[in-house]
């Protein structure tokens, strides 16, 4: 047995036998959230949803699909909700929009095997929920911001009833690094969620709703081989789903190591200590660059995550959940 194997076995034992106090104490929802996701392209959205579904301290009011093939994304969300026995959570379809060709829907086979259902409009649902629960809802925004820009256009007063938006987006001092976490991050670069629809991002930052921003600086944590081995140490419908989805992502992208962009945002929503924030004024230009500039802060921005706390939260919750479907989730 080498050191890596011994470390993995020790970690498995600790995570299975000693769930963190966060998990043990958090059986009653303390936060109410909506999620807007472009699940299906990159793999991190699936892990972000898995973490929230595995978190008893989170009440999910609804999950909306964003950007690109939003119908297939909703079908994928439905299947994930079914596999975890959470069909009670409303699934909404957002605006189908792309800028230059279709995105790479890397997890298309798993998504398309799900059973199709009708879906209501994501924008109307978001505004209705904000109005019904004023000052209570956190919106987890982990996709290009087209749905959110449309909601602000349709009813800015209703949108302002959100408690806050936790956003994976932007690049303050650091840009995209390699996919391995080896080379230092590049200088700031245009981050995907902002750059696909900069006008929508500008509307969000002007909306008056408090923003917690998780830029590239804080979110390029790797789900490396050791962590994937931990995930494979148990078999539940949720962990099995993540394994298949990760395999489809890897086969499609030739990229073995997921980057946990959106998962860092979800984890910070659950436990703010995972990514402490600094108030900054962020200026978003028409191309999608996000730069800190002098002025009244318009976002609380995390620049440095607590990677150990992140991994502990994510793996503890994924390995200790016992979510199961109540009926068949795929077409025969
Ligand atoms: Ca995403």
As for how many domains the chain has, the answer is 1
Specify whether the CB–CB gap between 91 and 77 falls below 8 A: yes
Q: How far is the CA of 262 from the centre of ligand 1 (A)?
A: 6
In a domain? residue 332: no
Q: How far is the CA of 300 from the centre of ligand 1 (A)?
A: 20
- Where b means 16+ CB within 10 Å and e means fewer, 29-65 reads eebebbbbbbbbbbbbbbbbbbbbbbbebbbbbbbbb
Q: How far is the CA of 23 from the centre of ligand 1 (A)?
A: 25
d(CA 261, CA 179): 12
Q: What angle do CA 317, 83, 119 make, to 5 degrees?
A: 115
Q: How far is the CA of 142 from the centre of ligand 1 (A)?
A: 4
> Torsion-angle region of residue 17: left (phi > 0), alpha (psi -120 to 50) or beta?
alpha
Which residue range(s) make up the domain with 154?
30-318
Q: How far is the CA of 39 from the centre of ligand 1 (A)?
A: 6
Q: Output the CA torsion 170→168→94→139 (10° steps).
A: -130
What CATH number did the domain enclosing 106 receive? Answer: 3.90.245.10
Question: What is the model's pLDDT at position 264?
Answer: 98
Q: Is residue 5 packed enough to be buried (19+ CB in 10 Å), middle (13-18) or exposed (0-12)?
A: exposed
**Rg of the chain, C-alpha, whole Å:** 19
Helices and strands (H, E) in the chain, number of each type: 15, 11
Q: How far is the CA of 115 from the centre of ligand 1 (A)?
A: 22
Contacts of 241 (CB under 8 A, 6+ apart): 46, 50, 80, 83, 110
In a domain? residue 181: yes
d(CA 291, CA 234): 43
> Torsion-angle region of residue 67: left (phi > 0), alpha (psi -120 to 50) or beta?
left
In a domain? residue 50: yes
In a domain? residue 13: no
Strands (E), 27-150: 31-37, 58-65, 91-93, 120-121, 137-142
**Number of CB atoms found within 10 A of residue 169's CB:** 32
- Ranges under pLDDT 50 in the chain: 1, 3, 6-10, 14, 17-26
Question: What is the model's pLDDT at position 102?
Answer: 65
d(CA 286, CA 290): 10
Q: Enter the pTM of the model.
A: 0.94
Write 24-29 long-range contacts (CB < 8 A, 24+): 26/55, 26/56, 26/57, 27/56, 27/57, 28/56, 28/57, 29/56, 29/57, 29/58, 29/59
Q: How far is the CA of 226 from the centre of ligand 1 (A)?
A: 23
In a domain? residue 325: no
d(CA 304, CA 267): 14
Q: How far is the CA of 43 from the centre of ligand 1 (A)?
A: 8
Question: What is the model's pLDDT at position 10?
Answer: 46
State pLDDT tens for residues 251-270: 999 999 999 999 999 999 99
Q: How far is the CA of 193 from the centre of ligand 1 (A)?
A: 7
Nearest CA-CA partner of 261 in 66, 46, 11, 74: 46
Question: What is the model's pLDDT at position 182?
Answer: 79
Specify whether the CB–CB gap between 266 and 304 falls below 8 A: no
Q: How far is the CA of 17 from the centre of ligand 1 (A)?
A: 32
Question: What is the model's pLDDT at position 15?
Answer: 54
In a domain? residue 197: yes
In a domain? residue 14: no
């Amino acid at each position: 047995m080498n050191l890596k194997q011994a470390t993995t076995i020790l970690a498995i034992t600790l995570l299975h036998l000693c769930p963190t106090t966060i998990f043990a104490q958090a059986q009653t929802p303390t936060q109410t959230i909506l999620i807007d996701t472009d699940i299906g392209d990159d793999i991190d959205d699936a892990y972000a949803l898995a973490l929230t579904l595995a978190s008893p301290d989170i009440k999910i009011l609804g999950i909306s699909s964003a950007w690109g093939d939003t119908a297939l994304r909703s079908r994928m969300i439905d299947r994930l909700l079914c596999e975890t026995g959470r069909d009670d959570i409303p699934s909404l379809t957002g605006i189908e929009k792309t800028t230059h060709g279709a995105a790479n829907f890397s997890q298309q086979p798993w998504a398309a095997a799900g059973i199709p259902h009708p879906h209501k409009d994501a924008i109307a649902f978001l505004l209705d929920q904000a109005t019904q629960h004023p000052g209570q809802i956190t919106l987890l925004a982990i996709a290009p911001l087209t749905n959110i820009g449309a909601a602000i256009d349709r009813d800015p007063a209703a949108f302002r009833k959100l408690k806050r938006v936790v956003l994976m987006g932007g690049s303050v001092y650091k840009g995209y690094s390699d996919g391995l976490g080896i080379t230092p991050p590049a200088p700031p670069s245009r981050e995907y969620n902002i750059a696909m629809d900069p006008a929508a991002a500008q509307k969000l930052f002007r909306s008056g709703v408090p923003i917690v921003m998780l830029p590239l600086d804080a979110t390029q944590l790797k789900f490396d081989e050791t962590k994937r081995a931990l995930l494979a140490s148990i078999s539940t419908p949720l962990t099995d789903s993540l394994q298949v989805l990760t395999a489809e992502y890897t086969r499609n992208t030739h990229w073995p190591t997921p980057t946990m962009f959106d998962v860092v945002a979800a984890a910070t929503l659950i436990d703010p200590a995972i990514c402490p924030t600094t108030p900054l004024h962020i200026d978003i230009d028409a191309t999608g660059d996000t730069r800190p500039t002098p002025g009244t802060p318009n976002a609380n921005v995390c620049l440095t995550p607590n990677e150990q706390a992140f991994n502990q939260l994510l793996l503890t919750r994924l390995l200790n959940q016992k979510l199961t479907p109540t009926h068949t989730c795929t077409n025969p």
